[in-house]
Amino acid sequence: MARWPPERRLPAEPPTPTPAQLDATLAATAWYLRLYHDTPDDPGVARMFCDPERVGAFAVRPEALAAGEPRALFRLLVATTMFQRRADLQIERVLRGISAQDADALTDPDALLAAADANPCPRARSLTALLTECDLTKDPQTALGTCAASPGAPCDLKRHTVLLKRYGHFGKVPTSLALTLREHGVADLAALRQRALHEATDPADAAARLESMLRRSWRVSDKIAAMALSMLTNPDLSPGLAPWSEGLDWSGYVVIDSNVDLFLRRVQFAGPWTYAARRAFILSLAARIDLSALKPGLRPYNPRLVQQAMYLSQSALNRKARPRDCAHEEPSPCGVCDLDRAGICSLRH
């Protein structure tokens, strides 16, 4: 029987951080826990997705999320997919600009499946066809959704790609998420989790299986899957809002983006730069940091919090937009701040 809660989950041959790498990570983690953790300004965590001032009509009710209500979970997942290859603040503006009626249409899996079934184009009716045959794009002249197969035919995917204001093919995302559930023979995300738990040999296997299932969807990468699942499983990321904190080993769900990569470059991570190798290095660093000593009440080992510290310490746009950031303190702490002294402050180095 696997032990619970998660122990320090490391790869078979974990990389050994240098003292300087560990010191810089410890400085960033202490800074993050002091200023941002479990506050309304912490970006990319469950509490943010409960705030209509941040994500507009995509916001879910905290009590619905904490209870694991299927509609709330699917809504959170759709909104999460938007946070890739654009600044967080830009994506938040896009989400706030979508009406409540359109947000409902984009996040109702039953309605998405019904629309897919009714679509005259066979490329929209199955996950495999949607992933491999649908060539949804945007007309460069009109910015409207179109495709090569039936450019003039009405299609929900074409409308979705206009609403979401991302790549031309991004309109496939909501329907692909709903079709992923159908492909696995389940009605909702809660049932998908139950399937992963049923098929798995231990909590780590269940976590990996669930992540793999989600990654079948269009534009759901390692990063997006980890971002969504960490919000649902990690009990200390947004305390009180993680409905799936038992049964899955959430310690491997770390979100690696360009800001985390910037941190890794600042501390001279040697690579390789695969997602798995970067995750292994972050887990190795986290195994050497006792979070309970930095903030009472936290579990000692939580790689996602360490990774969040890396990310936010390098996110200059997020930091400048938040009055709580030390950049706005008077007198300025620059020069004595641990981030600055470690050479990892995004606003100074």
- Which among 113, 121, 271, 248 is positioned nearest to 182, based on CA atoms? 113
Question: What is the percentage of the chain residues whose pLDDT exceeds 90?
Answer: 85
Query: Where in the chain does DSSP place strands (E)?
Result: 137-138, 145-146
Domain boundaries, given as residue ranges, for the chain? 1-42+242-349, 45-82+85-220
54 has pLDDT over 50: yes
The answer to whether the beta carbons of residues 239 and 38 sit under 8 Å apart is: yes
The answer to whether the beta carbons of residues 230 and 282 sit under 8 Å apart is: no
217 has pLDDT over 90: yes
pLDDT digits (tens, 9 = 90+) for 276-325: 999 999 999 999 999 999 999 999 999 999 999 999 999 999 999 999 99
51 has pLDDT over 50: yes
The reported pTM is 0.93
Chain centroid offset of residue 327 CA: 26
Q: What is the pLDDT of residue 2?
A: 36
Q: What is the pLDDT of residue 266?
A: 96
Looking at residue 215, its amino acid is R
Residue 54 or residue 12, greater confidence: 54
8 has pLDDT over 70: no
11 has pLDDT over 80: no
153 has pLDDT over 70: yes
Strand 145-146 versus strand 137-138 pairing type: antiparallel
The set of residues, in sequence order, having a beta carbon less than 8 Å from that of 28 and lying 6+ positions away, is 263, 309, 310, 313, 338, 339, 342, 344
pLDDT digits (tens, 9 = 90+) for 223-235: 999 999 999 999 9
3 has pLDDT over 50: no
What is the C-alpha separation between 217 and 219, in angstroms, rounded? Answer: 6
The answer to whether the beta carbons of residues 223 and 44 sit under 8 Å apart is: no
* Low-confidence winner among 4-8, 64-68, 182-186, 329-333 (lowest mean pLDDT): 4-8
Query: Any idea which residue has 């009472």 for tokens?
Result: 296
In this structure, is the dihedral angle defined by the CA atoms of residues 265, 271, 276 and 280, taken in order, positive or negative? negative
Residue 349 in tokens: 């180095």
pLDDT digits (tens, 9 = 90+) for 156-167: 999 999 999 998
The answer to whether the beta carbons of residues 253 and 214 sit under 8 Å apart is: no
CA distances from residue 286 to 69, 74, 230, 266 in whole angstroms, order as listed: 31, 30, 16, 17
Looking at residue 337, its amino acid is C
Q: What is the pLDDT of residue 343?
A: 83
* Low-confidence winner among 19-23, 48-52, 69-73, 82-86 (lowest mean pLDDT): 82-86
Q: Chain-wide mean pLDDT for the chain?
A: 94
Query: Any idea which residue has 């184009």 for tokens?
Result: 121
**Phi and psi (nearest 5°) for 190?**
-60, -40
Helix, coil or strand: residue 327: helix
328 has pLDDT over 90: no
Residue 252 in tokens: 């491997």
Q: What is the pLDDT of residue 341?
A: 75
Q: What is the pLDDT of residue 1?
A: 30
What value does the mean pLDDT take over residues 166-178?
Answer: 96
The answer to whether the beta carbons of residues 285 and 25 sit under 8 Å apart is: yes
- Alpha carbon distance, N-terminus to C-terminus of the chain: 47
